[in-house]
Structure formats: structure tokens, C-alpha cells
Structure 1
Amino acid sequence: MQQLNYLTELLGFQGFYVSGIEIDNEGDIEKVIITLGREGRYICSGCGREVSSIHSSFEQEVRHLHLWRYLTILRFKKVKLRCRSCGVKVERLEFLEKNKRVTKELTHQVSELCKVMSVEDVATFEHLHWQTVKEMDKKAIQKAQSERSLEGITVLGVDEISVGRGHNYLHLVSSLDGPKGSEVLYVGEGRKEEDLKPFWRWFGKDRAKKITHGVMDMARGFINSFRANCPSIKIIYDKFHVMRHLLNALNEVRKAEFKRAGKKMRGQLMGKKFILLKRMDNLKGKARKALKELLSVNRRIYKAHLLKESFGQLWSYKYKGAARRFWDNWKKQLKWQRLEPYKKFAKMIDNHIDGILGYCDKKVSLGYIEGTNLKAKNIIRRAYGYRDKEYMKLKIIQGCSSIGVFRPYPYPLHHNPG
């Protein structure tokens, strides 16, 4: 009897006590069946009031956390109540998931394990069907997402990633200065202006009015959407997207020189694309030596490479005046160089220079958006393709935000009062 009292205390379900235990060794899985007795306190599932009048009862078995190596089953009498307000209603039990034959503790453990394991691995570990695990995890992420605090956010960032084949895109909206730091807030489909409308409905008009800065690429759809919903916003163009345009221009110079060069020169240009596009500081050993040899034999590529290496200084200035002088001097170096792709690039930057120089006024984390894109792609790749698109978006949010922190034991057990 003393042992059962210990188990009752460990179980911690108020109003229940352990009245018996049996071990079932039949089949492939060893089970322990814990029979629970009641202490006569019943709550109506309709109105939440305590009711003493019982209509009928039935036996129910539910899954609970593993007891050592045993799969644990709780067996108890569940009752239907005669409530004066609601009529005949099944009682509400706080430790059970609604409409599920599992305890809340098991659901929590499954959802936490899904943060660090695949759905299939969690299903194997917990002896559950993978579909059951997926639904439990999906519901837990939806609940965490609905309870997130969106207060104190003044800077948003947005970018898109391609998914699968064809022109299929997801847009990721991130908070870059929230109370919990930089994190993804929302994942939606598409990259047009109208595709962001669900985000603004979710985020709220009042919060949108408090947004002072938005970090994005030069996509017209994102720019129009943010300006339409955030009256006082200042646009900052993402450094990595601007640099991508410059690298494309450098590659165009390389291809033009390859076509213009003779047979011997083509041999030196062959296979040098990626070492040319990389930053000089990131090249080591043979790659660095090969780049130096390439730059020594072609003047245009040498000049284009120098301009590419120096362009990143534009984001190092604190004052717009100094940054603008640097940009004007950078453009002057294009004179007489016959670098047509660079001249097109310079014209594009002139059209968007205010958004680039906006970084001088607000130093935000420009690298976070690019890093998040890579992380989101890895999440999709590890899953080998999600059949449930909504679940895929939720997993990206979870993996790139504070709700994805692994917390296996966040809540104390609700023990019976002593």
C-alpha cells in the first residue's frame, strides 16, 4: 500500500490515486497498466463548474509518459455528469488532451522531441503512429505561435526563398529588434504585394503603424506592401542582395572576357568563377594563388575584382555624407574601364541609394535574414519534402525563432495538496 502511495505522489494528478498496477508482457511491447481510483470531484466540460450528480460512467485507457522501459497505460473510470446548466456532459479532466487518448504531459514530450528529432524517429521512440505525432506537434506549434508576444517590434525584415521546382516561393517576415532578439515571425506563400496581406492581418494594423524600418531586397512587391501598411517606415535594402547584383555583374565581365580571349587565355579563365566571386580574405592556399595568377593576366577582371572587394565598405560608414562620397568615388573609377555590367549596376544603385544609405541611421542585423534563409532551406531539405504545407511553414517558424528552444521540462507537476 505504501508503494502505491508513492506512485500516486509521483503521478501528481489531483483527485486520482493509484489503486493497482499490472505488467503486460504479451506482444512485442512491454506495458504497465496503472489503475486509478477517484476521490469524487467532477468538473463539467461545458461550463467548468463542479458537479456532484453522476449520470453514468465508463472505463477509459490513455497513454502516459514511459515508466522506465514500459509503455504506460492509465486505466480509470470517466463519468458523464448531470449539469443544471449544460445537461448531460462528459467530465473535464485537466491532465487529458481534448478529444485525445493521451495525457498533456505525453503531448508536451512529443512536441519537444520533434524539435530535435524527426517525426518518424519520435513515433518510433514513443510507439505512436507518425501521423499522430505530426498532428500533436502541429497543434503545439500553432498554440505557441498564437501565444507569441508581438509587442515592442519596430524593425521588420522580409525575404523570399524558392521551394521545389518552378516559380514557387515562400516569404519569411522577421523581427530584427524584438524583446527576444531577431527571429522569424511569419511564413507565407508568394512574393507579390497581395501575398503579404495575410501577414498584415495577423500582425495587426496598430502594430504595423509602430514599424519604423523595413529591411528587404529591391523587389517592388515587398516595398509597396510595407509602405502601404507602415506609414512612417524607412526602407533599408539588404546588403547581401545588393552584393549579389554586384557578383552577377562581375560574372558577366568574366564571361565577356572569356569570349574575347584567345585559346591560351581561355585556359587560364576556365574554372575560375567561384574563386573570383569569393572574398579575397576567404581564399586560402591554391585557390588564393590561382586567383592572383588570374588577376595578373587580365586587366579588366583585375579592376572589376578590386571594385568588388572595396564596395562592401559602403556599409561601414556612420554618416550618410561620408557614405555618399565613397559611392561617388567608387563610380568615378568606372570611367574609361569598359565594364558595362558594372555601369548598369551603378545605375541601379543610384536609383536605390537612399535605401542603402538608410543603414547609416539604423544599424540592424543585415546578416540575420540571409542566415535564416539558409536555415529554412535546410529544414525543408532534412524533411525530404513536407506533404502538409502548413506544417512545413510552422516548422520553419519554430526552427528560426524563440518558440523552437528545446524545453523538455518547463512546467512543474501538479501534485496533490498535502
Structure 2
Amino acid sequence: MLSKLLGIPGLKINFISQDTNGDTIIRATSTLHGTKCHVCGEHICKPCASGPPIKLRHTPIWGNKTYIRITPLRYVCEHCANKSTTTQVVDWYEQKCSCTKQYEKHILLLLINSTIQDVSIKEDISYDVVEGILERNISTQITWEDIKELKYLGIDEISIKKGHKDFVVIVTTMIEGKLKILAVLKNREKATVKKFFNKIPWRLRQTVQIVCSDLYIGFINAAKEVFGKKVQVVADRFHVAKLYREKLDNVRKKEMRRLKKELPKNEYEKLNNVMWILRKSPTELSEEELKKLKLLFKHSNDLKLSYNLSTDMTAIFNMKITSTQAKRKMNTWINHVRKSGLTCFDSFIKTLTNHMKEITNYFNGRMNSGFVEGANNKIKVLKRRCYGLSNSAHLFQRIKLDFEGYAMFSNKNSTLCC
């Protein structure tokens, strides 16, 4: 019964004690008979001298550190000419490891949204032990056999170090409503992205319907060259929004510098915090904010025009229209910008014109890479938490654990060596 509570079938508990440190020591023996010969692979069951006793860390009991002491059984092989001996292999711990698999699962759950250093301190075990558990149980690349289809692919880049152009590319998908990491690519070059896409098994490449991306031409061309015309490449609307809102913000900065010079100090101070007001939709503004916006526009017609054009573009994205209708409306918007005399949106218009197909594909199924952005936000937190984590393989492991760890290692779905 106690062995079942410990999560270890095939184990006989001989007695339990506490050592001078207050740690719980469980002395036990295996009730399983025989093992597989490590030389010939035959099942063997003739016992010989036992191996040396070992002490394995296990999950805490009543808040105390818990260890299992066991003397592994050894068997001699009568099939081998040299009568080789083999230590019994059981499924609840790995040979040459200092803890049980149940304890490894405990550590992996603690590692979710935490750091190796923190878990090491909390559990009073070495950094290397925690790192070893992570290495044994979390793969450094995707296992394609576990995936039945890839309807959506999301691709985006993140900077590994703040202020540096040291990018890695994150490839994700949504499976049954859950975010899944597919790859962390070492750079954002088209060749690197294309190579990964080509590594996706043919059976899964055939299931891809949509690739969500920002407007980086390397990502877009890699997707088109590998998946062809049958797959829609969708430019993420939030990346598009960021581009035209940046142009509005540039006008704000320019106009606020001008107004600071031209307006009396008390009048200029009435315009405090307009940056946040300009980032809101008119329908979201309070009465006080609307008054401040009206005052701002009284002093700057360019800001008024830029704000209205920016909100008009957002309104187009919020409409339930087809991609053809969206294209017409966006072309009308471009004409309005040109008639306004503003030049702040010129570079955005060029991007919009060059990528009209990818941008308006959003309206076909209103699919965006919001799940990619959600992933990137979590990864940014992970980067801050695990400062200096720059190795793409290790980053993949930590992302996989943070995204999927509870599903993988909860009591109902526990699986080690994934």
C-alpha cells in the first residue's frame, strides 16, 4: 500500500526511519524478479551477488526530504558464454541517477516559470542535478511523431539580448487550442527558416493551411517557396497596426516638441499624457480625455489628421468584410492620406502596397498570429527570469517546459523522457 502511495509499484517497504537531519529514510527491496541481460538482451532470472546499496532522493513526505535506500538485485546470464552479470533495471529510477523518476517529475513541475538556480536552492540539491533532470526529460527539438496535423504555423523573432540585433526565430502552432513550440531557430535568415520548413515531414506539410508572420520578407518568401500557393501567408494585423501607429507617434513627438517651444508653460502642461490618449480608440476615451484631445487638435491639425487616419485603418481591420473589400477600403485610405498632404505614412503605404495580399489575407478567416505574440510575451518573461539564456536548444527546452509542462507532468498525464 505504501509503495503505491509513493508512486512506486513493485517495491517492498522494509522500514521507515528518520536520520539526524530529520530526513525520512525508506529502506526497501524490489519485488520484481529477473531483468534483461545487457549483453545479449535475453531475459535472465538467476540471482547472484547484489550490487552496492544506493540512496535515491524521492518526493517529500510531510514536508521532509525523503530518500529511498535500496540494494539493487543482480542476475547472471546463462545464455552468454562469459556468464555476464546485469543489475536489475526497474522503471522508477534511472541507473547512475541520484533520484527517482517521481522526484524528477516533482523537480520539472517546480521548474515551470522558475529557474534552475531557484529550484536548486529550494530543494537543497546542486545546480547540476537540476540541469541533468531537465536534459534527460525535455527534448531539444520537436518530435514530429506526436503531431497529427499542423493547420496553423506562427513565426516571429525575438531579440535574445536587449539592445542587440541578436535574434532567434520562434516557430509555434496551436493544437486543440493549446500553444505548442515547434522550433527555436538560431537566426532569422530566409535560408534558416526555409530549411526548417523543409524538415517538417511531408505528411504534416500537407496539412498546413495558414502561415502567420510579421512582414519580414525572409519569413514570407520562405513560406511561399516551401508551401506554395495552397497555403495562405497571413501578415499579422498587430504587426501591421504597430507600423502605422508608429507613424502617428512620430508626428506626436514632432508636434509636441514644437508646441513646447510655442505654447506658454501652463498651456503646454494641459497636454500631459496625450501619448496614451492617442493610443486609444475614440470610443474608449473618457470625457476628460476627449477634452484634452480636442485641445491638442486645436493646436495641431497634423496630429488630428494623423490620428483620424490611424483610427480609420484600425476600423477597417475591425470590419467583418472579405479580403477583396478590405483591399478596396485600404486603397481608398491610401488616397485619403495622399489628399491630406501628410507624408508621415509614406513608408507604411509602401509596405501596405507591397504586401497587400498578405495583409488582406487576414480577412479570409480573420486569422492572426496573436498566439505567436502571446508566446513571445511569455518568452520575454522567461528571458528576464533566466538571464543569459542564449543557447537555442536550451531556450527550446525552457519554452517547451513552460508551455506544456503541466500537461506533461501532472499526475494524470505524467510522462518522463519526452
TM category (shorter chain) comes to 0.7 to 0.9
Kept after mapping to 1: 8 A contact 2:141/2:183: no
User: 1:230 pairs with 227, 232, 239, which one?
Assistant: 227
Distance 2:41 2:75 in 1: 12
Deviates more, 1:232-241 or 1:71-80: 71-80
Match of 1:339 in 2: 342
Match of 1:416 in 2: none
Kept after mapping to 2: 8 A contact 1:250/1:277: no
User: 1:204 pairs with 201, 209, 231, which one?
Assistant: 201
Kept after mapping to 1: 8 A contact 2:141/2:182: no
Match of 2:172 in 1: 174
Kept after mapping to 2: 8 A contact 1:216/1:238: yes
User: 2:109 pairs with 109, 112, 115, which one?
Assistant: 112
Unaligned runs of 5+ in 1: 1-5, 413-418
Match of 2:332 in 1: 329
Q: Measure how far apart 1:60 and its partner are.
A: 1.8
Distance 1:16 1:320 in 2: 64
1:138-287 equivalences under 5 Å are: 138-142=135-139, 146=143, 149-164=146-161, 165-176=163-174, 178-197=175-194, 199-200=196-197, 203-231=200-228, 232-257=230-255, 263-265=261-263, 268=268, 272-284=274-286
Unaligned runs of 5+ in 2: none
User: 1:56 pairs with 49, 52, 55, which one?
Assistant: 49
Q: Taking structure 1 as reference, are residues 34 and 356 closer, same or farther at Cα in structure 2, changes over 3 Å only?
A: same
Counterpart check, 1:94 vs 2:91: yes
Aligned residue-pair number: 402
Q: Measure how far apart 1:160 and its partner are.
A: 0.7
Match of 1:75 in 2: 69
Q: Measure how far apart 1:358 and its partner are.
A: 1.0
Counterpart check, 1:31 vs 2:23: yes
Distance 1:365 1:183 in 2: 16
Distance 1:355 1:146 in 2: 30
Match of 1:357 in 2: 360
Kept after mapping to 1: 8 A contact 2:46/2:75: yes
Q: Measure how far apart 1:339 and its partner are.
A: 0.8
Kept after mapping to 2: 8 A contact 1:209/1:229: no
Kept after mapping to 1: 8 A contact 2:160/2:390: no
2:103 partner letter: L
User: 1:43 pairs with 10, 35, 42, which one?
Assistant: 35
1:54 partner letter: P
Deviates more, 1:268-277 or 1:352-361: 268-277
Deviates more, 1:153-162 or 1:379-388: 379-388
Kept after mapping to 2: 8 A contact 1:300/1:337: no
RMSD: 3.0
**Structure 2 length as normaliser, TM-score?**
0.84
Kept after mapping to 2: 8 A contact 1:172/1:188: yes
Kept after mapping to 2: 8 A contact 1:81/1:90: yes
Q: Measure how far apart 1:159 and its partner are.
A: 0.7
Q: Deviation string for 1:187-217 (max 9, x for gaps)?
A: 2221111222563365323322332221111
